Amino acid sequence: MPEVDELRQEARRNTRGRFEQWAKNPTCPANTLSAVHNVRLDAAARAAGLTPSFGQSPFAIARGNRFEAGLFHDDAARLRSALERKRCLPDGSTGFLDLRLRMNGGTKIKSVDEALQKTEAWLRDLASGQTDVDSVVAAPMIRIPKGVILPEALLIIDVVTVRVDGGGIRLQVGEIKVFPDRGGHTDPHQLATARAQAGVYQHALVLAIDSLGLAEAIEISPEGLLVFTWPGSNSPAIRPNEDLTYQAIRAERGFQRLEEVAESLVHDDDWSADNPTLVQRVLESDTDYSEACLSFCDLAPRCHERAVLADDPIILGADVKRVLGDMTLSRALELLDGAEPADDREADLQRSLAES
């Protein structure tokens, strides 16, 4: 049927956008369903009586593109000097490999197939033991193995640094955002989003390298780097050594979940972005609210309100949630006020709350 074919084509073109949306909160079943079925979150929000507020402004997109283009201009000179200043690369590092598509500001790569092929060739070259490597690589494109998110999942990693350490190759993933870096006052939602994204890159790169059989030869750093901007300027501000262990585990769980959902639920007639049945299914799905939701999901006001009603510590952020786990915020406050602990766990928590 021509109409179904068109929808399928649209879904195929849109894969990256859907995948990236999913990657911002990979453990939320509603978000997963939305990504797998190509159901737009703004349509779901409208159906829930909310006013969608996302959708990228053309000015923000233009600024993001300008920032990225400036970083990679002249063999990534500006980015390289910022990376060297933060010791992400050694002084005097050399070599820039530009794997960006032409449509994304690159100069050589004409198609997705070419980008995939050049990325694989780059990884195989690195694994072959050569030591004269390009230390900055823009936009390598990897295909996520195992066929998650139909029809295929491609991921473009913003930037990868390459170091030769003790004879071995070590890669570090980097996420580029035009968010202003305000040191300890950087917006926690923006930070959480950037870290989650970098965690997905890291896990996806590990999977891709494993599937190519190159894991012995190439090491992926458990730490990533974030490239933000200096407030009010387009100069890069690097946040080095971001521990991505937790985010990568989260991404791994999300990948598994995405695969299960993709295998069990995608049918031939499920390609419409505003199919009311699918919109309803997204609205009825379980959720897993986190601060990252505030940066992309039009259902965030609803899920935040639910978290408030549930007395869930996630409303104070992932760090507080990690400490309190399933305990309600009210119970934590009672313990802080000196309530009698009901068990050893509460007693431990009360002690650590008092200490901190």
251 binds ligand SF4 (CB under 6 A): no
148 binds ligand SF4 (CB under 6 A): no
42 binds ligand SF4 (CB under 6 A): no
- CA R_g for the chain: 22
68 binds ligand SF4 (CB under 6 A): no
Residue choice 25, 135, 161, 197 for contact with ligand SF4 (CB under 6 A): 25
297 binds ligand SF4 (CB under 6 A): yes
Cα–Cα dist 240/106, whole Å: 25
> Which three-class secondary structure string do you get for 206-256?
HHHHHHCCCCCCEEECCEEEEEEECCCCCCEEEEEEEECHHHHHHHHHHHH
Residue choice 23, 30, 218, 314 for contact with ligand SF4 (CB under 6 A): 30
Strand partners, 170: 163, 219
Residues 267/277, Cβ–Cβ less than 8 Å? no
Nearer Cβ to ligand SF4, position 284 or 343?
A: 284
**CA nearest 282: which of 116, 118, 36?**
36
Nearer Cβ to ligand SF4, position 181 or 298?
A: 298
**CA nearest 198: which of 219, 218, 227, 169?**
227
Q: Within a 10 A sphere around the Cβ of 318, how many other Cβ atoms? A: 19
28 binds ligand SF4 (CB under 6 A): yes
How many residues line the site for ligand SF4 (CB under 6 A)?
Answer: 12
**CA nearest 135: which of 90, 100, 104?**
90
From 75-83, 92-100, 270-278, 298-306, give the range in contact with ligand SF4 by CB under 6 A: 298-306
Residue choice 39, 303, 314, 335 for contact with ligand SF4 (CB under 6 A): 303
Phi, psi of 88 (to 5 degrees): -75, -25
300 binds ligand SF4 (CB under 6 A): yes
From 61-69, 136-144, 183-191, 296-304, give the range in contact with ligand SF4 by CB under 6 A: 296-304
Nearer Cβ to ligand SF4, position 102 or 253?
A: 253
From 24-32, 113-121, 311-319, 338-346, give the range in contact with ligand SF4 by CB under 6 A: 24-32
Nearer Cβ to ligand SF4, position 244 or 282?
A: 282
Find the farthest-apart pair of alpha carbons in the chain and give their distance in angstroms, rounded.
68
From 58-66, 88-96, 293-301, 317-325, give the range in contact with ligand SF4 by CB under 6 A: 293-301
Residues 141/119, Cβ–Cβ less than 8 Å? yes
Q: Which residues bind ligand SF4 (CB under 6 A)?
A: 25, 28, 30-31, 287-289, 293, 297, 299-300, 303
